Amino acid sequence: MNGLGFDSERIKQKVRATNYLTVAQLFLKSNFLLENPLTFDDIKPRLLGHWGTCPGINLAYACLKEYFKTEENFSFVLGPGHGFPALQANLFIDGDLEKVDENAKRSEEGIIYICKNFSFPGGFPSHASPVTPGVICEGGELGYALGTAYGSALGHPEKTIAVLIGDGEFETATALSSMNLNKIIGGSPNGSVLPILHLNGYKISAPTISGRKSERELNELIRGFGFKPLLVRGDNEDSNLAIDYAIKDFKVALDKADEIFRKIKHGEAVNPPFIIMKTDKGLTGPEELNGVKIRGNFKSHQIPLPLAKTDEKELRILENWLKSYRFSEVFRKERGFFYAK
């Protein structure tokens, strides 16, 4: 039975850890555990990558992995592959990266290795790539995630596949046309596909269309494609409360999705589930910079503190941002991560 032993506190700790490692990959070339005050020398000379989608990836991934932890045939498909530091943080903590790269041990040395080499020549790319465990295509081109998930489920009734779709990606013709696939391959001969729309409201430089629809209008669109929309709300002004509420909603939504999939397997004519996960763009990150809104705005899409290497104000904001995750509570040099196997 899926969802047994769903531990909300464990999920929150993992989200904090992966958010910390995501930010560290984007910014740091030294002082990875913040054992000393942050200096300009600790910051990478070139800041390259994407932050805005990453906290949503970390939240969804942690909830899904916890819920389906006893399910051997569960898979996760990531649409916004530009949020690669989040995916890598999860693969690192779960030990999946270490299986293919002995340098990525879940230790201080491993943290140094993944952070220092992120978006670095000869190291890890800024987007998901085939060198990453489980990745089959490059993560810079959006639109194919949902179709890939349905293709993977074809002829495999034992599979359950969750697919995270960015709301910018949801504007592509490929993603929208793939919404019709539930009518073609849904049912007992094939696996179960659970689409999750990450509704954070913004793409690289503008609002998303889905983010500007009313809740009713978006739900009706999803219903029109033959799905049952299930809402996960993580858009509270307080980041910690937003994550708390989202985790609770996720458990409810996944229980409902599991119930629906069971009915479908028994031949009942019900619409498959479709989760809408609503969070701020750049959740848990800086709220504003020099009077300009960052969190909940397109300004958080890539590097929200672009002058952290040279500007004292941005450096101190970055330091406080990293400290807010209280990483020392979930990782110790002498014992590693609290949930390491």
Q: What is the dihedral of CA 305, 308, 313, 317, to 10 degrees?
A: 60
Mean pLDDT (whole number) for 91-99: 94
* Residues 6+ positions from 260 with CB-CB distance below 8 Å: 228, 270, 271, 272, 273
CB 337 within 8 A of CB 17: yes
| Distance from C-alpha of 306 to C-alpha of 270, rounded to nearest angstrom | 48
| Distance from C-alpha of 298 to C-alpha of 293, rounded to nearest angstrom | 9
Amino acid at 339: Y
Q: What integer pLDDT is reported at residue 203 of this predicted model? A: 93
pLDDT score of 341 more than 50: no
pLDDT score of 96 more than 50: yes
Lowest-pLDDT range, 8-17, 20-29, 233-242, 310-319? 233-242
Of 164, 19, 9, 26, nearest to 89 by C-alpha is: 19
Domains of the chain (ranges, CATH numbers): 8-334 (3.40.50.970)
The string of DSSP letters for 181-205 reads GHHHH-STTS-EEEEEEEE-SB-SS
Mean pLDDT for all residues in the chain:
93
Q: What is the pLDDT of residues 217-250, one digit of tens each?
A: 999 999 999 999 999 999 888 988 999 999 999 9
Mean pLDDT (whole number) for 186-203: 92
- At 248 the three-state DSSP class reads helix
Q: What is the pLDDT of residues 59-93, one digit of tens each?
A: 999 999 999 999 999 999 999 989 999 999 999 99
Task: Establish how many alpha carbons lie within 13 A of residue 329's alpha carbon, considering only the half-sphere containing its beta carbon.
Answer: 14
What pTM was computed for the model? 0.95
* Residues 6+ positions from 238 with CB-CB distance below 8 Å: none
